[in-house]
Amino acid sequence: MKRLFSALQSVLSSVLVVRLALAAPMIALAEDAMNDSDFERMGKPGHGDWLFHFHEPGQSFKDYVSSNPVRASGSRQVLVFQPVGPFSPAERDIVGKAALFAGMWFDLAVRIEPAADLPKNGWHRFRRFPWQDSPVRQYRTGYFLLELLPKRLPQDAVCYLAVTMADLYPDERWNFVFGQASLSDRIGVFSMVRYFPRFWGGEESGESRTIALRRCCKVLVHEVGHIFGLTHCIYYRCAMNGSNSLEESDRRPLHLCPVCLKKLQWNRGLDVIRRYEKLGQFYARHLLEQEASWINKRLEKARQHPEKILRW
């Protein structure tokens, strides 16, 4: 039965390859996405969009495999998160859920380390924002990438990511950054503060918590995706699209397009349907309704046309 399934799969794969050769020779897909309305091709970028400013070449599946990307191997099997500085209870809860979500997304175990402190001296500057009463202390990403994380990189970490509610900047030329990573060192730092209303002088609500959770999930999977060697996607609207602003990342979906999914499937040996089922349960539990409805459509299609979603 197993052999039959493999044979069937290879027939399906060659059908897929032939179809792709006719329609889109540069990309290989994990799902049969041609003429599939669940995946939206990237349109022309608007003014201010990431692809308007950065003419990225894209990364085909073949490019990805030959880039020899980071993989979970040997003792390095865990996504390790390092909270740094204070979090309110609601913020801690949301960022913790997003970290667990990233584990589900990459099919990896997750560990959240005990919180570390922000540096008391140096590594910061003060910024004034019109909507804040007092100046905000902004921290340099260099502190995390050069001082804190390299010394503590755990033996079992596929990657080791600091998460903080402090606002960040890389150097004096920048107003701020959402985060920064060093792919070769498997480390990164991400600030979640701008995803919550507190930073903007707003009040927290059930809706703001859902928005913050969605944003935290998006940034973590996108950045861990980079550590796993996925570059920005230019083919479809996809979790790996570059974004130039909070508004553009809010438009970015929380699913991988078929090209990027194939890369992840190759890297992690994923069962696409099983993964969708788990992510769907998370979305339903946390009221991420758009995402739940998208994934339910995919699962319904998989039930009706199992050959449309290939398993690696």
Options 160-168, 254-262, 280-288, 296-304: segment touching Zn ion (CB under 5 A):
254-262
The nearer residue to Zn ion, 157 or 259, going by C-beta atoms, is 259
Q: Tell me if 254 contacts Zn ion by CB under 5 A.
A: no
Q: Tell me if 240 contacts Zn ion by CB under 5 A.
A: yes
Q: Tell me if 33 contacts Zn ion by CB under 5 A.
A: no
Bridge-partner residues for 168, per DSSP?
139, 177
Options 29-37, 39-47, 252-260, 272-280: segment touching Zn ion (CB under 5 A):
252-260
Q: How far is the CB of 137 from Zn ion (least distance, A)?
A: 26
Among 70, 163, 168, 233, binds Zn ion (CB under 5 A): 233
Q: Which two tokens stand for residue 270?
A: 């994923």
Options 36-44, 52-60, 78-86, 234-242: segment touching Zn ion (CB under 5 A):
234-242
Bridge-partner residues for 172, per DSSP?
none
Active site residue 204: no
Q: How far is the CB of 57 from Zn ion (least distance, A)?
A: 14
The nearer residue to Zn ion, 91 or 223, going by C-beta atoms, is 223
Among 72, 149, 158, 257, binds Zn ion (CB under 5 A): 257
Q: How far is the CB of 69 from Zn ion (least distance, A)?
A: 15
CB atoms within 10 A of CB 287: 14
Q: What residue type is assigned to position 37 of the chain?
A: S
CA distance 65 to 70: 10
CA distance 93 to 98: 9
Q: Tell me if 230 contacts Zn ion by CB under 5 A.
A: no
Catalytic option among 31, 223, 248, 277 = 223
* Binding letters toward Zn ion, positions 179-218, x by CB under 5 A: ----------------------------------------
CA distance 191 to 77: 24
Q: How many residues does the chain have?
A: 312
Window 260 to 279, contacts with Zn ion (CB under 5 A):
260
User: If binding means CB under 5 A, how many residues of this protein chain bind Zn ion?
Assistant: 6
What residues are annotated to the active site?
Answer: 223
Contact residues toward Zn ion (CB under 5 A) are 233, 238, 240, 257, 259-260
